[in-house]
Amino acid sequence: MRTEISELGKFGLMERLNGAAKTTAGARAAGASGDDGALLSSALLLEGVDFDLTYFPLRHLGYKAVAVGVGGVLAAGGVPVAVRVALGVSAKLSVEDLDELWAGVRLACGELGAAVALGDVRASVTGLAISVSVAGRAVLTAGSTAVAGRAVLEAKECVRKSDAGAGIGRSGARENDLICITRDLGAAYLGLHLLEREKRALAGIAGAAGFSEAARPKFEGYEYLLERQLKPRARKDIVDALAAEGVVPTAMAEISDGLAGDLMQICRASEVGARVYLDRLPIARESYALAEELHIDPVVAAMNGGDDHELLFTVPLEMRERVAGLGVEIVGHITAPGTGAALVTPDGSDIPLRSQGFND
Amino acid sequence: MRTEISELGKFGLMERLNGAAKTTAGARAAGASGDDGALLSSALLLEGVDFDLTYFPLRHLGYKAVAVGVGGVLAAGGVPVAVRVALGVSAKLSVEDLDELWAGVRLACGELGAAVALGDVRASVTGLAISVSVAGRAVLTAGSTAVAGRAVLEAKECVRKSDAGAGIGRSGARENDLICITRDLGAAYLGLHLLEREKRALAGIAGAAGFSEAARPKFEGYEYLLERQLKPRARKDIVDALAAEGVVPTAMAEISDGLAGDLMQICRASEVGARVYLDRLPIARESYALAEELHIDPVVAAMNGGDDHELLFTVPLEMRERVAGLGVEIVGHITAPGTGAALVTPDGSDIPLRSQGFND
């Protein structure tokens, strides 16, 4: 018997291997917590899948690999403490290339206050592979002593179903909780499209395959989109701000596969529904402009584009004022079990959410 | 300017990127420790480099990936607490294949008493990639409370230069310390050669390229070598036994690149020399037999073969009795700074050690 992986999709496969969603979809899967509030997250970035070295500067790639790697720790309400990198390196890269990559890794770790070490480097026959492992310390937990400013008791009230010490999971969202995201969405996905267009145009010029100089894409005006794709910033500032405000989310996730997929994961793990309002979706001006130019639906880019590496979290309704002060966007709310997850259009109709498949 | 990575080699590159050997070659590089005795290690296994799916059963591969991944935590004197796996999967693998792989991962984690989660799975265009991240807890440290049976004070006496709480490093070996290894060496390397020979023979038969049925290799008698290559066991038992005996090594490393390379790393970080006695090198009977058949020097297999995933550690001379009771092999001793690292033949001559290059 042979089942194609694309039949199950990424989330289906992870549920199958991790076992029952209830026990693993939360902090354990997101951060694989140990004891003593220790959190663990990781990322694997593969050439030809996650990045293309024809347009991805190695310094930025090192920076991004760390940002992607720490996402699981941040989403569990922790801060990264130590980062360990393993590299598979093809012969086309030189020592100086790796110096560049490593400068980006060190820059990102320095900004995050995390120790960093190259744990292993090996020859690769299949392009550059970057493995990032991150150990973190939980700061947003019921028993946390890192909560400053506000009473720890208040924070405790917000924790309803998370395992103390194991970080925030995906299973604690409840009806009426607010759905918050930490930045506009879709920009990284559109930045990738811009880079791909540039690559095709340059290939055309180099190969004299019919592209004229005039067809060469312009980056002017789209710097923001390139930065979101090439140098995403890990949102440790949000975890720090939540801790300072004494706000412990009921559920949290990193938006790596698009808002739709990650929100659906929270809904499944928490056994609730969700409504996201289309007119509340933050989409940058540059995203609208490029989406129009490329004939891409900016809402699809925001909901399914992926690669945002921002945070998605839910908090009880009574936390509205407090989270508003953090500069996060409230895009919807959690609904009763069985109501499904949907995007609500301005005229009030529901569009059911769908997540990306394995190869999308 | 372009410097080829092979010019520096693996260890040279790691020193370059990790900075001064003194600060990073020890526990930080080996285990990238956080605070509170938290340890972090990782492994990246790439198809075509670290394994060949034509003869590597997926269940064994999952088991081995964990064994390799936890090596850094064990070498820092810790035990694994949580394991997180990320996979890059090519389309040739099915869901059932991944079930097999995962069964091996779970088996290994179960034996080690570590929680496990699949953190991410993504499409790969370049074959299977397995990233394993491991969070561990230090048990062999000066301030450890896990040391049972013997007085903690005794253990403290053995710790001379390691950072308390940061795990055992590579920089604490001192003149006259005993060099211990936890099992015979070279078997995994010879097992790989046996599998490669089988693969070539089968390809010859399949392609009618001149190999006869009679030329087909026999595995009989070499099961031990196959097991060492295909299903290496993580030596948590050694860390547990050292803790129970109250023995804290002065330096420790995982033997992943052959005894020579890893011992030279300890010598460099500790600024000492070393002598390993050829007639003390444990080499299994099966290793001698296959080495003779394949015209491979069994000593080279032991010193430079790699993939053993056993532990190498140094302890003060006065610990001889205590470590002997653990069933480890004492193969030599640490010598004064500036004396170099060498293999001593039975007639008393020194053969300087050399480590593998990047692509060997």
**pLDDT tens-digit readout, B213-265:** 555 556 888 999 999 999 999 999 999 999 999 999 999 999 988 999 999 99
Q: Are both B105 and B178 inside the same structural domain? A: no
Q: Quick one: pLDDT at residue A292?
A: 97
- Domain range for B286 is 150-360
Average pLDDT, chain B: 85
List chain B residues with CB under 8 Å of A83.
Answer: 32
Mutate: best of A121, A309, A359, partner B, most B CBs <10 A: A121
Question: Is the model's pLDDT at B25 over the cut of 50?
Answer: no
Min Cα–Cα distance to chain A from B116, Å: 7
Do residues A38 and A130 both lie within one domain? yes
Same domain, B127 and B204: no
Beta-bridge partners for A132: A43, A85
Distance from CA of A206 to the nearest CA of B (A): 24
Please tell me the distance from the alpha carbon of residue A170 to that of residue A272, in angstroms, as a whole number: 11
pLDDT at B356: 65
Instruction: Sort out which chain A residues have CB atoms less than 8 A from B1's CB and list them.
Output: 96
Q: Do A97 and A198 belong together in one domain?
A: no
What 3-state class would DSSP assign to B43?
strand
- pLDDT (mean) for A70-93: 94
The answer to the question of residue B192 being in a domain is yes
Residues facing residue B83 across a β-bridge: B116, B134
Q: Which parts of chain B fold into alpha helices (H)?
A: 5-18, 21-24, 27-31, 58-75, 95-112, 152-158, 187-206, 223-230, 236-245, 259-270, 285-294, 298-304, 320-324
Round the average pLDDT of chain A to a whole number and report it.
85
Report how far residue A229's alpha carbon sits from residue A194's, in angstroms, rounded to the nearest whole number. 10
Q: What is the pLDDT of residue A324?
A: 87
Of the candidates A13, A30, A81, which has its C-beta nearest B35's C-beta?
Answer: A81
Q: What is the mean pLDDT of residues A276-283?
A: 97
DSSP class per residue in B269-291? HHT-EEEEEGGG----HHHHHHH
A86 and A219 in a common domain:
no
Residue A147 lies in a domain: no
Question: Look-up: residue for tokens 């032991």?
Answer: B302
User: CB–CB of A33 and B115 under 8 A?
Assistant: yes
**Residue of B38, B119, B136 lying closest to A29 (CB–CB):** B119
Distance (Å) from the alpha carbon of B53 to chain A's nearest alpha carbon:
15
- Counted across chains A and B, CB pairs separated by less than 8 A come out at 250
Mean pLDDT of A222-245: 96
Q: How far apart are CA A130 and CA A187, in angstroms?
A: 23
Closest-CA distance of chain B to residue A354, Å: 18
pLDDT digits (tens, 9 = 90+) for B295-305: 999 999 999 99
Tell me how close the Cα of A155 comes to any Cα of chain B, in angstroms: 24
- Decide if A5 is inside a domain: no
Nearest CA in chain B to A124: B49
Q: Do residues A5 and B93 lie in contact, with contact meaning Cβ atoms separated by under 8 Å?
A: yes
Cβ of B133 and A40 within 8 Å?
Answer: yes
Fill in the amino acid letter for A280: R
Token pair for B130:
């397995």
Of B185, B193, B360, B200, nearest to B293 by C-alpha is B193
On whether residue B12 sits in a domain, the answer given is: no
Instruction: Check residue A141 and give its pLDDT.
Output: 77
Phi, psi for B247 (deg, rounded to 5):
-100, 120
pLDDT at A47 over 60: yes
Closest chain A residue to the Cα of B46, Cα to Cα: A124
Selecting from B5, B24, B131 the residue whose C-beta is nearest the C-beta of A95 gives B5
pLDDT of residue A202: 76
Q: Which of B18, B76, B66, B29 is nearest to B45 (CA)?
A: B66
Phi/psi-derived region of residue B150, left when phi > 0, alpha when psi is between -120 and 50, beta in every other case: beta
The answer to ipTM > 0.90 is: no
| CB nearest to B41's CB, from A39, A119, A134 | A119
Domain presence at residue A123? yes
Give B249 to chain A, closest Cα distance, Å: 21
Whether A14 and B118 lie within 8 Å, measured CB to CB: yes
Yes or no, beta carbons of B46 and A16 under 8 Å apart:
no
Q: Is the dihedral of CA B320, B326, B327, B329 positive or negative?
A: negative
Q: Which of B127, B150, B146, B130 is nearest to B138 (CA)?
A: B146
User: Is residue A282 classed exposed, middle or buried when 0-12, 13-18 and 19+ CB atoms within 10 A define those classes?
Assistant: middle
Residue A125: both structure tokens together: 């026959």
Find where tokens 């951060």 sit. Answer: A31
Kind plus residue range of the DSSP H or E element containing A112 = helix A95-112
Of B34, B117, B358, the CB nearest to A32: B117
Residues of B in contact with A269 (CB under 8 A): none
Count how many domains chain A has: 2
Q: Pairing state of beta strands A341-344 and A310-315?
A: unpaired
Most confident of A7-21, A206-220, B58-72, B210-224: B58-72
- Give the pLDDT of residue B148: 34
Do both A157 and A205 map to the same domain?
yes
Give B6's strand partners. none
Give the CATH number of the domain where residue B47 resides.
3.30.1330.10
On chain A, the residues whose CB falls within 8 A of the CB of B126 are: 46-49, 126-127
Asked if residue B14 belongs to a domain, the reply is: no
Same domain, B169 and B61: no
Residues in chain B: 360
Residue B168 half-sphere exposure toward CB, CA atoms < 13 A: 36
**Same domain (yes/no): A282, A335:** yes
Cα-only R_g, chain B? 21
> Between B20 and B351, where is the model more confident?
B351
Give Cβ neighbours of residue B196 (< 8 Å, ≥ 6 apart).
B52
The pLDDT score that the predictor gives to residue B246 is: 92
Query: Is residue A44 in some structural domain?
Result: yes
Give the three-class secondary structure for B234: coil
- The last residue of one of the domains, among A104, A138, A172, is A138
Q: Between A32, A117, A124, which is nearest B24 by CB?
A: A117
Segment A48-68 shows an average pLDDT of: 95
**Min Cα separation A101/chain B (Å):** 10
List all residues 6 or more positions away from B212 whose beta carbon is below 8 Å from its beta carbon. Answer: none
Q: What is the pLDDT of residue B194?
A: 94
Q: Based on DSSP, count helices (H) and strands (E) in chain B, helices before strands.
A: 13, 11
Query: What's the pLDDT at A24?
Result: 36
CB B89 within 8 A of CB B118: no
Tell me the helix, strand and coil percentages in chain A, rounded to 5: 40, 20, 40
Q: Give the whole-number percent of chain B exceeding pLDDT 90.
A: 68
Tell me how far the alpha carbon of residue A49 is from its chain's centroid: 16
Q: Please, are residues A311 and A249 in contact by the beta-carbon 8 Å criterion?
A: no
Contacts of A98 in chain B (CB under 8 A): 5, 13, 17
CB atoms within 10 A of CB B7: 12
Domain end among B138, B163, B178: B138
Q: Is the pTM of this model over 0.90?
A: no
Exposed / middle / buried, residue A217 (Cβ in 10 Å: 0-12, 13-18, 19+) = middle
Q: How far is CA A193 from CA A48, A60, A86, A188, B124, in A?
A: 15, 17, 28, 9, 20
The CATH number of the domain holding residue A350 is 3.90.650.10
- The residues facing A290 across adjacent strands are none
Chain B residues near residue A93 by CB distance under 8 angstroms: 5
Q: Is the pLDDT of residue B30 over 70?
A: no
Identity of the residue numbered A173:
A
Amino acid at A313: F
pLDDT tens track for A110-139: 999 999 999 889 888 889 999 999 999 999
Contact assignment for B95 to A35 by CB distance below 8 Å:
no
Pick among A70, A84, A100 to test the B interface (most B CBs inside 10 A): A84
Binary contact (B131, A131; C-beta < 8 A): yes
Chain B residue numbers touching A359 (CB-CB < 8 A): 123
| Contacts made by residues A214-223, CB under 8 angstroms, sequence distance 24+ | A219/A194, A221/A286, A221/A289, A222/A191, A222/A194, A222/A286, A222/A289, A222/A290
SS3 of B40, please? strand
Q: Is residue A116 located within the same domain as residue A179?
A: no
**Does residue B20 lie within any of the structural domains?**
no
Facing residue for B124 by CB, picked from A29, A49, A84: A49
Residue B357's pLDDT is what? 55
Whether residues A176 and A310 share a domain: the answer is yes
Please check whether residues B190 and B81 belong to one and the same domain.
no
Residue of B28, B46, B58 to mutate when probing chain A, most A C-beta within 10 A: B46
Which helix or strand (DSSP H or E) is residue B133 part of?
A: strand B129-138
**Do residues A292 and A355 both lie within one domain?**
yes
